[in-house]
């Protein structure tokens, strides 16, 4: 059986979706039920991954500096077991993803909106923590045995039951 595949969509594919892909790749690699194949993309990709995302990942032992934002069209023909949007713009810009068996929306504030160095660090750390909590809960589920509808419902419930990150831009 091929690994379970999860796509994270965001507008710029430079912050939230990159953090989620890194977490899914790292935490999903040693999952007892089998590894996760993670990818991320954006509806309007940035020119580079936000340095705040790279820094928060590096501080937690996840090397991510060689990544580049991708456009969602680059992944249109790939099948995914679950597609999660992490910003409202991506949810609205990508209402239908042909390769998605299941969909969920985890709307999170954009840490890239922070402008001062300490605010950037705080915003990315809070977003990392919020995504890690959601991804750990997701990976604890028997994802392979859930129907697509149940996978969508469980992912949505995880988001609804966890606090949003708080930070000021």
Could you list the active site residues? 10, 87, 94
* Residue 35 DSSP code: -
Alpha helices (H) along 81-168:
88-93, 117-139, 148-161
Backbone angles phi, psi at 108, to 5 degrees: -125, 150
What is the rounded distance in angstroms from the CA atom of residue 167 to the CA atom of residue 20? 18
The CA distances from residue 110 to 64, 87, 153, in Å, are 19, 8, 24
- The contacts of residue 93 (CB under 8 Å, 6+ apart) are 11, 43, 44
């Amino acid at each position: 059986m091929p690994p379970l595949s999860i796509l994270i969509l965001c507008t710029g594919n430079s912050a939230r979706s990159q953090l989620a892909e890194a977490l899914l790749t790292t935490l999903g690699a040693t999952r007892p039920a089998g590894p996760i194949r993670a990818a991320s993309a954006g509806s309007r990709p940035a020119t580079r991954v936000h340095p705040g995302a790279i820094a928060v990942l590096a501080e937690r032992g996840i090397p991510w500096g060689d990544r580049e934002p991708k456009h969602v069209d680059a992944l249109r023909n790939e099948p995914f077991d679950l597609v999660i949007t992490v910003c409202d713009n991506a949810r609205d810009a990508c209402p239908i993803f042909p390769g998605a068996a299941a969909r969920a929306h985890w709307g999170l504030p954009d840490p890239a909106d922070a402008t001062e160095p300490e605010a950037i660090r705080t915003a990315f750390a809070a977003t990392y923590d919020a995504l890690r909590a959601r991804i750990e809960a997701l990976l604890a589920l028997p994802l392979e045995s859930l129907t697509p509808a149940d996978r969508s419902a469980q992912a949505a419930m995880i988001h609804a039951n966890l606090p949003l990150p708080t930070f000021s831009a």
